Structure 1
């Protein structure tokens, strides 16, 4: 039975298999998709009228895979690690399932400092306190590299995808520049090696919003510039699948749609 772990909003996604790492992926097994991330992926998204982009929106989808959503609002790569959620997902890898993880960089200050974002720079560490207990705060690439290596040690292939952007048309003019976290995701892939690959989901989404224009795009963000409506979420989900198909990634073998049938253009 094959298993995938797919992206945290900077998104970590991995393909896990009960067979030895590196074995060619085939269509023999039907995996289950497990989603891990924050509110941009979670069921219910950021509140009323919103939906996480891969939370309930699974069309197009690996065929015919059930989906289990483990995304939780307000999580960063740091808190998802510290709460033991990556470890729990890795343990499930022994069962042979398909999982998708995606966690955005937290931009807002959280009431619980323990759930704030990790450090930005590579190879930095600092001491912090959580409930009076000293903890070491790592960098964003460090957390995701450790998570990816935990998955690949279980026989997984890891797909790292760039963060989904906020509303790129919020100012009235649609424009997008990839954030530093896109580069961090590529660092993670380099750290992990041949059992990891990269999908630039952020650029796929931004290109689609720019093509649709400001009026149409604004309508997909009913409450803020981060959380999409269910209709917008369906497009964002489809564009992740588009990226997987265009890259001919390991997960592509399980996608029932052809590349041309999914909205958007390959980049």
Structure 2
């Protein structure tokens, strides 16, 4: 849906915009329609509901290849109402087609880095065209959100995400991806981290060596045991255990993937029984290990 189509469908949303004016106590608005979030709704939020949090589950900017960013899309990307977004990176090797590069990933990085001042939750899904989302070649350089230079210079260098969720499909999450997001948001205030794709040994080593997650409360990890050299299996799970044990006690912990060699002697005691009662998708050997360690489930 091109950016201009947003204006053509705007009138259809005006009855809802009128309704929003009559809901002064509304605290959250969630949007999941495939088209762009309508201008009339954003205007209503800014004018009548400045405290209402906007959550967009189908976030996408459609004018990033135009000579200049669409004014409304720039307003949306920098809106103080915008609190959480879900982004599907559905292009192939960073391109919508062979000739049209897609810069939504870069745009979201800029938003997280301060352009969207109240953005607290980010979910990125289905980016299985590259594991680190940064290594594909560009024939056209990212210019940034045009007309945002003055805005960008006034924002903090690092963002303030509370929740970061990444799924790169069948690829593995590599250290470069973690370092990229550390450069755009302050990991010390992240409360929920969900790495839904397999994590490489180097990524675990990166997380363990640079643990900076003192505020973490909820963690989801997918261990990639079957994809590593068997000679490195013990080292892989030792690094995983070390990382889990140096985290603050968690409210919930979800581990999936290859768990057969994960040492259970110290992890449950460190995080407490409460977090393990909320742990999902365990394989039978790990479940037995937890039960034996805690004495119950």
Which of the pair has the greater relative contact order for Cα pairs under 8 Å at 6+ separation?
1
Whose helix fraction is larger, Structure 1's or Structure 2's? 2
**What TM-score do you get using the length of structure 1 for normalisation?**
0.30
Normalising by the residue count of structure 2, what TM-score does the alignment of the two structures yield? Answer: 0.28
